[in-house]
């Protein structure tokens, strides 16, 4: 079987350690003789898994006291509605940098006024800068990494109001000053684990400020009080996420992840910038994502896009086709993607270029 390289944007590559440990737990979880897929979430063995995952979240991100870590269902998309349901009183500010933040804005508008700063005018090819955050808004929301547009916010804003970030696709890829945030959330299926579990890091004292009646399953306080087990949690997915957290810890933590990710991204960006065929879609170098590198054929070579995709696939480069809404190409270089895969993609690009 030929070597394949996984550049899919999500579900995406995970550490080999995560795969192997999860396979073992599917066969025999914690020496119980039962599969992680079929053991009670109330068992002491699974409760230990949940507690360990929560503890490693807090350790790796240096989460201060006064925050809760939750493992929920519904993906980041459900959080788009849960956030305003729980936290919006009258008004919120949203930074619109792509498809996912736009979807979050749509949900927020169901609950109150939404002030929007957007980069839609240039097809989300840059991150807005120099904007003011209104002090009269209930919270400020942004998406830190934009998997479709290929932009990333690599710093933590200073906000005069509670700040919330969707970090679905770059969580644990760099150090984060959690103390600057009221909430950080995301789907696990990009940098953490299988699709089906959503992480939420939430500051406890931001809750309970609206007089809105909140359905039980959508109420953060209920999930905090019940320790992520108000209803049956996605046990296998949480176990797999724990294995990824262990792997990150074994590698040396998020600082090491950041160094590796910068190196991998630079290799690919340099290759694109020096290519006669390809061009990066993001306007400003500082806005380029380290997680999802988006690029297209230069105008005079547009007719070769399908040929390159076929060539790349034949070489074992999987998942390099751009999102269906924008086309082009996308290489997702998440934590678990080895540098060797990036080098293999660069060699494939150069080989294709020589062939035309």
The string of pLDDT tens digits covering residues 113-135 is 999 999 999 999 999 999 999 99
Non-local (6+) Cβ contacts of 296 within 8 A are 278, 279, 281, 302, 305, 322, 327, 328, 329
The string of pLDDT tens digits covering residues 283-319 is 899 999 999 999 999 999 999 999 999 999 999 999 9
Non-local (6+) Cβ contacts of 308 within 8 A are 277, 297, 329, 349, 352
Known catalytic residue: 247? no
What would the mean pLDDT of 71-84 be, rounded to a whole number?
Answer: 98
3-class SS of residue 335: coil
Name residue, tokens 């949690």.
233
pTM value is: 0.97
**Which domains occur in the chain, in start order?**
16-251 (3.40.640.10), 253-355 (3.90.1150.10)
Known catalytic residue: 298? no
Known catalytic residue: 287? no
What would the mean pLDDT of 139-159 be, rounded to a whole number?
Answer: 97
What would the mean pLDDT of 260-286 be, rounded to a whole number?
Answer: 97
- Contact predicate 152/146, CB 8 Å: yes
pLDDT for the residue 154: 97
Q: Which of 96, 138, 154, 166 is catalytic?
A: 166
pLDDT for the residue 356: 87
Q: Which of 190, 203, 246, 321 is catalytic?
A: 190
Q: Which of 100, 203, 281, 321 is catalytic?
A: 100
Q: What's the rounded Cα separation, in Å, for the pair 198 and 196? A: 7
Task: pLDDT band for 39, please (50, 70, 90 cuts).
Answer: very high
CA distances from 151 to 18, 97, 148, 158, 203 (A): 28, 8, 8, 20, 27
């Amino acid at each position: 079987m030929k070597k394949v390289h996984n550049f899919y944007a999500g579900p995406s590559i995970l550490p080999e350690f995560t795969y192997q440990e999860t396979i073992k737990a599917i066969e025999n979880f914690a020496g119980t003789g039962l599969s992680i897929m079929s053991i009670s979430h109330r068992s002491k063995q699974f409760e230990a898994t949940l507690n360990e995952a929560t503890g490693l979240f807090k350790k790796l991100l240096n989460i201060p006291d006064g925050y809760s870590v939750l493992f929920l269902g519904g993906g980041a998309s459900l959080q788009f509605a849960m956030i305003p349901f729980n936290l919006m009183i009258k008004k919120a500010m949203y930074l619109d940098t792509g498809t996912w933040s736009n979807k979050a804005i749509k949900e927020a508008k169901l609950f109150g006024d939404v002030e929007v700063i957007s980069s839609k005018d240039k097809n989300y090819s840059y991150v807005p800068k120099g904007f003011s955050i209104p002090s009269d808004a209930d919270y400020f929301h942004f998406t830190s990494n934009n998997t479709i547009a290929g932009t990333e916010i690599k710093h933590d804003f200073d906000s005069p109001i509670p700040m919330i970030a969707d970090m679905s696709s770059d969580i644990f890829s760099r150090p984060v000053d959690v103390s600057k945030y009221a909430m950080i959330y995301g789907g696990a299926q990009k940098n953490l684990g299988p699709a089906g579990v959503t992480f939420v890091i939430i500051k406890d004292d931001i809750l309970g400020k609206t007089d809105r009646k909140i359905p039980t399953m959508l109420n953060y306080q209920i999930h905090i009080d019940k320790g992520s087990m108000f209803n049956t949690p996605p046990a296998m997915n949480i176990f797999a996420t724990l294995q990824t957290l262990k792997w990150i810890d074994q590698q040396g933590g998020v600082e090491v992840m950041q160094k590796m990710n910068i190196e991998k991204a630079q290799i690919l960006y340099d290759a694109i910038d020096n290519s006669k065929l390809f061009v990066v879609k993001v306007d400003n170098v500082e806005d380029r994502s380290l997680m999802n590198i988006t690029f297209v054929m230069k105008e005079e070579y547009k007719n070769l896009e399908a040929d390159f995709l076929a060539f790349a696939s034949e070489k074992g480069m999987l998942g390099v086709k751009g999102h269906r809404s924008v086309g082009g190409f996308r290489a997702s270089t998440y934590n678990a993607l080895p540098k060797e895969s990036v080098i293999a993609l660069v060699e494939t690009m150069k080989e294709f270029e020589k062939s035309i």
